[in-house]
Amino acid sequence: MAAVGVFALAALVLSCKCDSVEKPSDATGAGTGSEAERSGPAAASAGSEAPGGGAGAAVSLPDSCEEELLIRPLHSGDIYASFQFRTLWDTDFLHQGKKVSHYRLFPKSLGQVLSKFSVRELHISFTQGYWRTMQWGQPIVPSPPGAELWVWFHNTVADVDGNWKELTNVLSGIFCASLNFIDSTNTVQPSASFKPLGLGNATDHRFLRYATLPREIVCTENLTPWKKLLPCGSKAGLAVLMKSEKLFHSSFHSQAVHIRPVCKDWQCSSTAWELRQTLNVVFDLYTSGQGKKEWSLFKMFSRTLTEACPLASSSKVYVDVTDNPEGELFDLSPATSVLNTAVVLGDRRTYSVYDLTQKETFGQLRSLNLVLRWKGESGDMLRPLLHAERYVAGFGLQTGEIHTLIYNNHPYRAFPVLLLDSVPWYLRLYIHTLTVTSKTRENKPSYIHYQPSKDRLRPHLLEMLVQLPPHSVTEVTVQFERALLKWTEYTPDPNHGFYVGSSVISALVPSVVAMDTNNTQERPLFSSFFPTKEESSYFVRVYTEPLLVNLPTPDFSMPYNVICLTCTVVAVGYGSFYNLLTRTFQVEEPSQPLAKRLANVIRRIRGVPLL
Amino acid sequence: MGLLSDPNRRKALTSLLTRLNTPIWGMPVEWLVKTMQARGLEVFTQSFTRTLPFPDENKERYMVRGTNIYGILRAPRAPRTEALVLSAPCSPDNSNNQAVGLLLGLAQYFRSQIYWAKDIIFLVNEHDLIGMQAWLEGYHHTNITGMDYTPLQGRAGSIQAALSLELSSDVITSLDLVLEGLNGQLPNLDLANLFHAFCQKIGVLCTIQGKLQRGDWDTAEGYTHAVQTMMLMVLKQASGRPWGDHGLFLRYHIEAASVRGINSFRQYKTDATTIGRLLEGMFRKLNNLLERLHQSYFFYLMPSLTHFVSIGYYMPAFGLLATILLLRALDLWVQLGTPAQVTEDGAGEVEPPSSPGVLSVLTPVVISHLTGVALYTLPVLSQETAVEHFPVSETEAVVLTAIAIYTAGLALPHNTHRFISGEGTEQGWRVLKLVALLYLAVLLGCTALINFSLGFILAITLVPAAACVTPHMPKALTALAMVLLSPGCTLLYCVFIFQELQEAPVTLPEGWMLFLSVISQGILDHSLYGSLVYPLLALLIYPCWLLLWNILFWK
């Protein structure tokens, strides 16, 4: 019965029927009609002709791409910048399985990977830092610290594990990351938490693989290959802003690649591959701005915008001005009258829109440098409706307890969440100690999927569906024992500790405002990542912090000392013994005196015996 | 390192210090929260209450209620897995305000730096160790001492190292490093080395045990000085109590030390800026650690900050002492076995007919342990009764009850014999002594492994008594010697020696008062922080000594 419940929810969470996904593909067939619709709210905008032209160009060619930058001043005073690049590839090897050899905008390296490994959907993210939900609100595209990879394979694939192994190695090469460390000990097959985001209604989780590498450190060498996948590279368009020394001088950095099949038009008569590349950065103005709250594109990226990517059908910069309707909080220059309203994560937000495909945007200086000056202190942020944290309790190196706290800050609505926990085998979970409590009362999960670990083979997988009462904290605790590893299994720095990946909490959070389910209308890219199915709720995924756990670690210097000592003893002992045993001792004749030798010489000559 | 090189920052720090110097009642919780928030930290508070088992007369507290305030500086692009702690105790009597001010100044400075790889927790704890205990238990979600606290709202992963800061004035002459923690645990020696290295670099006088290092190691004075410093460390470690707020971190495998500013009459003074630079340097070093500190000693004694005595040097000394016990036991074993050998062939393993019954050995063992249990439980339990009947305060009642039970135990031999049927035999006391010797050897061995100093001090006094005692010695003289070597008297000597080494000698009555307060502190340490010295002495060492006492009066 429980299983039925969860599948119902899973279907609710992310049922990916055609009608829910057709919306992103609208832009492909970007007719002037939809363009007009989009500029509807911004009727005052003068420039409906230029994007029309761009779209016209896109219509004639099969592939298309869009780029977009969202800038949101956060309540904490930080600046959140979110890039999204979407490339659509009008090919249909999803159904026919034919070889495709023609690439235009879609990167060939990824296209070949898709066809070779029969990938249906691929999501990969590299994140450095932890998204601070309590200060920053919900992110546009959530991701856990480190690397995360989840892939749906076609249901025709026979050897999923083999494909997965090869795929991770190939991706590791493409992104210059340690994805080759993904093996069976950190791969799981979640039964409900990760449903396909694109076309198709796959439910058989045998074709899903999910893995995280919480230790992965993201740096420039991961950014460069990521930039190379963009149609314009980092030569033109928004991508010129991506200077790595600025992007990595931030509080949070996350880059991701999402590939999924989508409908080309709203009837879903044909499908296309969608490649979404996202880059999310949070800049800390306190450290970089010497306490002054003022930012500009130049300050953040040490670049300004001069042109759109010529290949892109749409290229826009959105600045979130919801908190600043009268301009009392900050000044934004150059001012724009083009406003756009979108419902994002259960909240109606207003954005100033800068269309880079129009000449007027750049002004006389031929460059766009957005400047935002704070005037007053921003008010308090609304508490995010859902957030979570996790920690290890207890002390000593034998046992411990993992606590996961899930906060529902909604004043009167209860809602269910799916919790996914993947714990490495060397923390032996005592599943009988699993308790779920809300408001000091036991809260029995309606669905639990637990897959016990196998030593050195596979991790624990714990998935459950928990109903969160309104305005409450739900605490999930489970005790564990720390295993003693074999001495070769320790990492080179065992005293650093061992990582346990983030738990994943997926939920349909009740929305305050009606969500936009009208998928025929074109919306900004950032509001269309997760398909919305119903008006009353929106999908949120929350990642907790990873854990660093110390395992009992032997003193590795001691074997070294012992080896040194024994080697010395053996060398000295063996050497002298060997010497003693193998040497033959002979009594050496003392050398004869000179007179005797002379006498012998004479005797030899005479032929008489020597003395 | 440019901390406070900017005049504006220096001014801000000065104004902070002035604000803190104005008299305040209790801890200014709201002001601290606001100030920390203004510095860009995530601020959380934790309130706690604790009722002590009996009033603490040294610190004048009984029902403790307080609030800890901590701000977390989130490191950029760090996944909240590792943290460092800088703590400063804040008390109503303003004695540590300089430390709190410096902590806030450092928080502001640290916030604007980009090189942090670990989150930094700035903790202001009220009621020194009790607050620290509440915070640590809250952070690790444990409850070992029955503290009542509110759960923590914010965390920063596993804590790698911690420093506790105590400054009594705005200028100091030297900095003292305190290492001894709960149950004699010590932080990794590298933490001490780090402190010393930075003191050298910045040019601050640094001390350990409040004693400056002398350059002349070869001379007799220099040697004596080093020995005195080390003996102070041995005594402090043996006490098993945390000698600074850092002491409680060690239980959680967090390397921690206290840095204490000392303002003496020396000419050259150091200001808060220099201490700030020192702390900044230490934190940057700790921040750069890729692993926990482990590549160094956890067992050491320090005759000075630059020298240490490693476990390999001091353990043999204890080992030799313990060998006496084992040799004695072997001797007794052979003596016990000899008559059996005499009675022909394979009957050797059979107990000789004159062998004492199990009862005659077991009875003293059980009775002395019961006395130990009484010594452990009764003082705290019976304090109310004692207060009703005698004109003493609760604390005095507890201590005096403990001493009374301890002394009453001396009358035990006479009472034990009532339970034993018949006369004690020659074999009887030998068996009892064998048991006592082995018991003592195991006890001391285990103690020395956990807390070397305690084990060593106990061994020095108990081993001679245990080795020599027989029923055939002159009763009065031996009894006096035994009493003088008993654990209680050892504690008394330790108090006097400690005062002597600290160059604050006390007269006999003062020493006695100190002795009483040490007992009460020991009991409090046990119930508040889980120190194991009191239960060890009461439940194990004292009964063991009583066994030896029994042998002396064996009839």
Instruction: Report the alpha-carbon distance of residue B108 to residue A560 in Å, rounded.
Output: 45
Average pLDDT of chain A is 83
CB B554 within 8 A of CB B429: yes
Shortest distance between the Cα of B114 and any Cα of chain A, in A, equals 7
Question: Which residues, 6+ apart, have CB-to-CB distance to A497 below 8 Å?
Answer: A548, A549, A550, A551, B81, B158, B292
DSSP state of A463: E
Q: What is the pLDDT of residues A360-382, one digit of tens each?
A: 888 888 888 888 887 776 667 77
With beta carbons under 8 A apart, name residues in chain A contacting B183: none
* CA distance to A24, A138, A139, A200, B152, per residue, from A526 (Å): 11, 13, 10, 22, 35
Residues forming beta bridges with residue B121, ordered by sequence position = B72, B85
State the pLDDT at residue A591.
80
With beta carbons under 8 A apart, name residues in chain A contacting B83: none
State the pLDDT at residue B165.
93
State the pLDDT at residue B321.
93
* CA distance to A76, A88, A259, A519, B240, per residue, from A29 (Å): 40, 11, 19, 14, 77
Shortest distance between the Cα of B77 and any Cα of chain A, in A, equals 4
3-state secondary structure of B182: helix
Contact status of A249 with chain B (Cβ, < 8 Å)? yes
CB A216 within 8 A of CB A146: yes
Cβ count within 10 A of residue B460:
14
Q: Do A251 and B252 touch (CB under 8 A)?
A: no
Give the domain ranges of chain A: 41-47+55-381, 562-611
State the pLDDT at residue A4.
43
Nearest to B155 among A249, A391, A555 (CB): A391
State the pLDDT at residue A59.
42
Contact status of B311 with chain A (Cβ, < 8 Å)? no
Strands B255-262 and B158-166: parallel
Q: What is the mean pLDDT of residues B320-340?
A: 87
Q: What is the pLDDT of residues A65-113, one digit of tens each?
A: 899 999 998 887 788 999 999 998 887 665 555 566 678 889 989 988 9
The closest of A205, A202, A204, A201 to A189, measured between CA atoms, is A205
Instruction: Report the alpha-carbon distance of residue B90 to residue A363 in Å, rounded.
Output: 58
CB B302 within 8 A of CB B186: no
Interface test with B, best of A284, A285, A551 (most B CBs within 10 A): A284
Instruction: Report the alpha-carbon distance of residue A245 to residue A283 in Å, rounded.
Output: 12
B237, pLDDT greater than 60: yes
H/E stretch holding A421 reads strand A415-423
Nearest to B291 among A145, A495, A555 (CB): A495
B189, pLDDT greater than 50: yes
Contact status of A548 with chain B (Cβ, < 8 Å)? yes
Q: What is the pLDDT of residues B27-82, one digit of tens each?
A: 788 999 999 988 889 999 999 999 998 888 888 888 888 999 999 999 999 999 99
Interface test with A, best of B6, B34, B36, B81 (most A CBs within 10 A): B81
* CA distance to A365, A604, A605, per residue, from A609 (Å): 120, 7, 10
Q: Is the pTM of this model over 0.90?
A: no
Q: Confidence band (pLDDT; 50, 70, 90) for A152?
A: very high
Lowest mean pLDDT among A421-425, A592-596, B165-169: A592-596
Lowest mean pLDDT among A206-220, A366-380, B92-106, B436-450: A366-380
State the pLDDT at residue A536.
84
Lowest mean pLDDT among A58-67, A333-342, B72-81, B92-101: A58-67
State the pLDDT at residue B536.
95
Quote the strand ranges of B209-338, DSSP E. Answer: 255-262, 270-271, 300-304, 307-310
DSSP-assigned states of every residue in B101-158: HHHHHHHHHHHT-S---SEEEEEEEETHHHHHHHHHHHHTT--SS--EEPPPS---SE
- Closest residue in B to A500 (Cα) is B81
**ipTM above 0.90 for this complex:** no
B 103-132: CB under 8 A from A? 111-114
Contact status of A280 with chain B (Cβ, < 8 Å)? no
Alpha helices for A455-507 (secondary structure H):
none
Q: Confidence band (pLDDT; 50, 70, 90) for B351?
A: very low
Q: What is the mean pLDDT of residues B372-398?
A: 87
Shortest distance between the Cα of A507 and any Cα of chain B, in A, equals 23
B474, pLDDT greater than 70: yes
A222, pLDDT greater than 60: yes
A 283-302: CB under 8 A from B? 284, 286-288, 290-291
State the pLDDT at residue A551.
92
Nearest to A403 among B76, B79, B141 (CB): B141
Q: Confidence band (pLDDT; 50, 70, 90) for B324?
A: very high
CB A400 within 8 A of CB A482: yes
Lowest mean pLDDT among A121-125, B417-421, B458-462: B417-421
Instruction: Count how many pairs of residues, chain A against chain B, have C-beta atoms within 8 Å.
Output: 90
The two three-digit tokens of residue A486, written as one number? 């074999």
**Comparing A136 with A324, which gets the higher pLDDT?**
A136
Cβ burial of B506 (10 Å; 0-12, 13-18, 19+) is middle
- Closest residue in A to B152 (Cα) is A391
Q: What is the pLDDT of residues A241-293, one digit of tens each?
A: 998 888 998 999 999 999 998 887 777 777 888 999 999 999 987 766 555 67
B352, pLDDT greater than 50: no
- Closest residue in B to A135 (Cα) is B42
Q: What is the mean pLDDT of residues A556-573?
A: 86
The two three-digit tokens of residue A541, written as one number? 């995924």
- Closest residue in B to A134 (Cα) is B42
Q: What is the mean pLDDT of residues B193-219?
A: 89
State the pLDDT at residue B471.
85
Contact status of B2 with chain A (Cβ, < 8 Å)? no
Shortest distance between the Cα of A504 and any Cα of chain B, in A, equals 15
Q: Do B79 and A145 touch (CB under 8 A)?
A: yes
The two three-digit tokens of residue B123, written as one number? 């903790």
Contact status of A557 with chain B (Cβ, < 8 Å)? yes
Strands A371-374 and A347-355: unpaired
| Cis peptide bond upstream of B379, omega within 30 | no
**Comparing A335 with A320, which gets the higher pLDDT?**
A320
Nearest to B111 among A248, A286, A495 (CB): A286
Q: Confidence band (pLDDT; 50, 70, 90) for B13?
A: low
B425, pLDDT greater than 80: no
Interface test with A, best of B74, B80, B112, B252 (most A CBs within 10 A): B80
Shortest distance between the Cα of B234 and any Cα of chain A, in A, equals 26
Instruction: Report the alpha-carbon distance of residue B117 to residue B75 in Å, rounded.
Output: 6
- Closest residue in B to A499 (Cα) is B81
Nearest to A395 among B40, B42, B140 (CB): B140
State the pLDDT at residue B87.
95
Q: Do A496 and B291 touch (CB under 8 A)?
A: yes
B410, pLDDT greater than 90: no
3-state secondary structure of A509: strand
